[in-house]
Structure 1
């Protein structure tokens, strides 16, 4: 199961976002780097997949989801979580853009066609 909190009404984004969970906080502290702390901002969307401990933080701008940094999870799960997000974005008719991605993510995921 894929879950994404989405900002439906840009005029009132906090109405559609959670503040994150203890699991999100744990993921940020364990697997994060400086940009990942933005995932705890209540204005951000959080994408999670059941069975994977971690999340992707993003901002939705119209039909574009801007991902902030690498998936926040164990390094071995980053590719699966990023691919799941790309699939979800495609199903929604969104473009997905990754800002501040690491070279590892670029080499592992971005060159596979999951993101353009």
Structure 2
């Protein structure tokens, strides 16, 4: 996680504190806590969104009165990175078009890098002769 950009000190501290509470520190947990830590509101409500005892997400937390349009995007991406979660009948709310049209987009990209490190080591597109004009 050394090359990952955090939004602020609170974001960084949140990620490492929550990873310490978990049995696993794999790419699923890293990406989940990284994304959930972007917003102060999601940090304050992590116990409503993640069950540490059973090591699983809590989709019912999506309906808390504390949720805003921004925190919903944070939770949707975090849940999707965790296990591909999308809410039945609301799959369109989990699309890049819906999620990335906000100020959190640069941090969302960092979460994707954490979840898929094998594909995001070097984000420079490979040169392909068949794609040249």
Q: TM-score range by the shorter chain?
A: 0.3 to 0.5
Q: Flag the structure with larger Rg.
A: 2
Q: Which has the higher contact order (CA 8 A, sep 6+)?
A: 2
Alignment TM-score, normalising by the size of structure 1: 0.36
Higher strand share: 1
TM-score by length of 2: 0.33
The structure with more helix, counted as a fraction of residues: 2
